[in-house]
Amino acid sequence: MGDLSQKIIGYDLWHLELPVTSRRDHGIGSVEGVCEVVVLRLTSEDGSQGYGEASPWSVFTGTPEATYAALNRYLRPLVVGAKVADRAAIMAQAAYAVAHCTEAKAALEAALLDLTGRISGVPVWALLGGKCRDSIPLSCSIANPDFAQDIDLLARLQDDGVRIVKLKTGFKDHAFDIMRLEYLAQHYPEFSVRVDYNQGLSIEDAPAQVRDVAQFDPDFIEQPVRAHHYGMMMKLRQATDVPLLADESVFGPEDMERAASEGICDGVSVKIMKSGGLTRAQTVARMAAAHGLSAYGGDMFEAGLAHLAGTHMIAATPEITLGCEFYQVSYFLSEDILEEPFKVEQGQVVVPDTPGLGGKPDEAKLNHYAVSKSVAA
């Protein structure tokens, strides 16, 4: 067992722009050209290091600029000089040191867990309660406005053994959504299909369009309307037998409590970038389960470091039963930042068993893709 009483003495940051291979359209916005993430590295007195990634999206969780400022200005003073052992105390202070900025808090907790795991010689899942699974079924999103490119992607997914897709809907028109659902039903009947509107429907259009889409019997329909339209979410849930999932409507445990009490959903998409950390994500999933609701392992536009953090969280959270969507590294980014590739085998994300997060970024890549950084010489 390593020494957890040692202090954290190094705190380095990189704001990255990572090139992507295609355009992704979601109900609330598009990503094209690059996706932006912020990487945090903590160093302790014996030279051990831990990494965490924040993966913001301006229309969903927040901006990379706010994330970088939260980590650089407001969270740094809580961490430098603190003991590695005092993770819970640091995170409790971080919750109120800066409002919102949940992606920054997720990166901080991931880096603290990675550092603790590396010093102690245990995987992050062991620090989160232990492991309930060795692999997690992977879902890949179908979100290209040019469906011909997604037809090529579907063939690739089939070859790779992926059998779950999430169709992103509500960004063009209803006919486009129905056409793609018909294509999937006809050509890939063995695939599990989920539908995600990312808040893309107006409250006027939502009832009829959700009813049409439900005819295809997807596993679930996710977040058809705006995050704050709890009343319409409740009505849509009552109007269809297909489970309705909340994503943007539920960030942390506080939202989960309200969503469950108002009956707006049958399940929830759990993301460390929304909840503000891995332990709070576990809390969301457990609250959902306590209310008889299902939980899905969602993600943002992430690089492999955030995928790893999410993988460890899901590996230690039996309540998350609907798989995960850590597909960006394999099917969206031009190049990942990890030294060793994020492991997906036969459509399953493989849970690492090595200390910490089980992977770390290549520092040369961090410097190559950085648009700003704060790194000690």
Could you list the residues that contact Mg ion (CB under 5 A)? 196, 222, 247
Please say whether the beta carbons of 273 and 305 come within 8 A.
Answer: no
Q: How far is the CB of 268 from Mg ion (least distance, A)?
A: 10
Nearer to Mg ion, 87 or 274 (CB): 274
CA-CA-CA-CA torsion for 32, 33, 35, 39, nearest 10 degrees?
A: 180
- 147/170 Cα distance (integer angstroms): 14
Residue 63 burial (C-beta neighbours within 10 Å; 0-12, 13-18, 19+): middle
Residues in a beta bridge with 372:
15
Asked if 24 contacts 31 with a C-beta cutoff of 8 angstroms, the reply is yes
Residue nearest to Mg ion (CB): 247
Is residue 85 a contact partner of residue 5, using CB atoms and an 8 Å limit? yes
Closest approach of Cβ 194 to Mg ion, in Å? 9
Q: Which is nearer to Mg ion, 177 or 222 (CB)?
A: 222
In the bound state with Mg ion, the residue whose beta carbon lies nearer, of 40 and 213, is: 213
Q: Which is nearer to Mg ion, 237 or 360 (CB)?
A: 237
User: Cβ 266 to Mg ion, closest distance in Å?
Assistant: 15
Rounded least distance, CB 174 to Mg ion, Å: 19
In the complex, least distance from residue 23 CB atom to Mg ion, rounded to whole angstroms:
17
Q: Which is nearer to Mg ion, 139 or 279 (CB)?
A: 139
State the DSSP code for 334.
S
**Which tokens sit at 299?**
């993600």
Query: Would you call 37 helix, strand, or coil by DSSP?
Result: strand
How many C-beta atoms lie closer than 10 Å to residue 96's C-beta?
7
